[in-house]
């Protein structure tokens, strides 16, 4: 409850301050305030994330309803996302089970086997402007609205998406009635787009680093994949707080039943885990060009590397 109390009211207050800055013509101040507001929105998404794992509260009903309510604010249907994320956890690091809840990653051989247009599409998909700009906007504003491709899962993904869409529509309508459509767009869109890019960046560096781990099914071991296929993104303390310790991702994948507010205790009690997959902020920037898994060298490489 404390984690909710230090996340939701500051988010609401910052949203109101951004509106006030825009309303009185202080655009530069509105943009500055949008950055911490986006940080709190990311934090709310991570509360939803832990609810999806059933770890935030002790009781499932509390997890599910807080997760659903948070999903309206984060534009992420709770039930739909929870299913996709569970598949991601069950298959992380498995080369034969890629493609669901992951960032698409080709092996060097798969990339070389593609046609010119196939290679071009993959290069565009992995371009930083698409990966951290256009892609996050598309994911949260459009893709989450319709669960296309999940017909086999029955009616539940659609029910989750449509119920969330309805709640988003009602909440947006209320705010538009209160402050007007232009103000709503000018306030909420920058916050949402910044938060979406922050979230995708975090997810990217958690698995897309040079010495990550991928194996074929016959050699894949879930505990090893969790520990070595997920990074320890060692952020400064204030960023660790804003990102709800999600940088301790190797521990999270090893045991997703641990809530984020107890992950730091794990590293304190088990210091041997601190250096496994450790990335600093400066080191994480070097992960951006990495795009292909080299099975022979067992590392992620860039397009330039295979050109050599």
Domain spans in the chain, listed from the N-terminal domain onward: 2-307
> Average of pLDDT values for 53-80?
94
Whether the CB-CB separation of 143 and 161 falls below 8 Å is answered with no
Which residues in 224-258 are b (16+ Cβ under 10 Å) and which e? ebbbbbbbbbbbeeeebebbbbbbbbbbbbbebeb
SS3 state at 301: strand
Whether the CB-CB separation of 243 and 45 falls below 8 Å is answered with no
Residue 145's pLDDT band (cuts 50, 70, 90)? confident
Question: Does the pLDDT of residue 307 top 90, yes or no?
Answer: no
Close Cβ partners of 228 (under 8 Å, ≥ 6 residues apart)? 93, 211, 212, 213, 250, 276, 277
Q: How are beta strands 278-279 and 299-302 bridged, if at all?
A: unpaired
- Please tell me what DSSP assigns to residue 92: T
Question: Does the pLDDT of residue 63 top 90, yes or no?
Answer: yes
Q: Is the pTM of this model over 0.85?
A: yes
Close Cβ partners of 183 (under 8 Å, ≥ 6 residues apart)? 19, 22, 23
How does pLDDT run across 103-141, given as a tens digit for each residue?
Answer: 899 999 999 999 999 999 999 999 999 999 999 999 999
Question: Does the pLDDT of residue 21 top 80, yes or no?
Answer: yes
Whether the CB-CB separation of 45 and 195 falls below 8 Å is answered with yes
**For the chain, the helix, strand and coil percentages under 3-state DSSP, each to the nearest 5:** 70, 5, 25
How does pLDDT run across 157-181, given as a tens digit for each residue?
Answer: 888 889 999 999 999 999 999 999 9
Provide the edge-to-edge strand list for the sheet that holds 290-294. 106-107, 290-294, 299-302
Task: Detail the DSSP E strand segments found in 163-242.
Answer: 232-233
Close Cβ partners of 31 (under 8 Å, ≥ 6 residues apart)? 190
Task: Detail the DSSP E strand segments found in 13-139.
Answer: 106-107
Whether the CB-CB separation of 288 and 300 falls below 8 Å is answered with no
Pick 155 or 302 by higher pLDDT: 302
Q: CA 24: distance to chain centroid?
A: 34
Question: Does the pLDDT of residue 153 top 70, yes or no?
Answer: no
Query: Two tokens at 78?
Result: 């709770």
């Amino acid at each position: 409850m404390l984690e909710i109390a230090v996340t939701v009211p500051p988010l609401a207050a910052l949203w109101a301050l951004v509106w006030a800055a825009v309303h009185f013509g202080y655009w530069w101040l509105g943009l500055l305030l949008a950055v911490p507001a986006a940080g709190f929105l990311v934090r709310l998404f991570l509360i939803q994330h832990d609810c999806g794992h059933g770890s935030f509260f002790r009781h499932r009903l509390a997890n599910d309803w807080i997760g659903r309510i948070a999903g309206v604010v984060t534009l992420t249907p709770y039930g739909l996302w929870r299913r996709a994320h569970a598949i991601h956890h069950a298959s992380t690091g498995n080369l034969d089970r890629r493609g669901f809840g992951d960032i698409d990653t080709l092996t060097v051989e798969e990339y070389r086997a593609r046609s010119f247009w196939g290679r071009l599409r993959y290069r565009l998909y992995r371009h930083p402007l698409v990966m951290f700009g256009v892609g996050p906007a598309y994911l949260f504003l459009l893709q989450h609205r319709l669960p296309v491709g999940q017909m086999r899962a029955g009616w539940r993904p659609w029910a989750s998406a449509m119920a969330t869409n309805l709640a988003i529509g009602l909440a947006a309508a209320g705010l538009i009635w209160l402050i007007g459509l232009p103000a709503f767009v000018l306030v909420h869109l920058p916050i949402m787009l910044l938060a979406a890019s922050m979230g995708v960046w975090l997810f990217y560096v958690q698995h897309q680093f040079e010495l990550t781990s991928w194996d074929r099914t016959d050699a894949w071991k879930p505990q090893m994949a969790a520990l070595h296929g997920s990074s320890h993104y060692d952020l400064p303390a204030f960023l660790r707080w804003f990102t709800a310790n999600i940088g301790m991702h190797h521990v999270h994948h090893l045991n997703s039943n641990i809530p984020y507010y107890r992950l730091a205790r794990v590293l304190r009690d088990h210091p041997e885990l601190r250096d496994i997959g450790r990335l600093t902020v400066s080191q994480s920037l070097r992960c951006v060009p990495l795009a292909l898994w080299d099975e022979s060298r067992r590392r992620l490489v860039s397009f330039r590397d295979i050109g050599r």
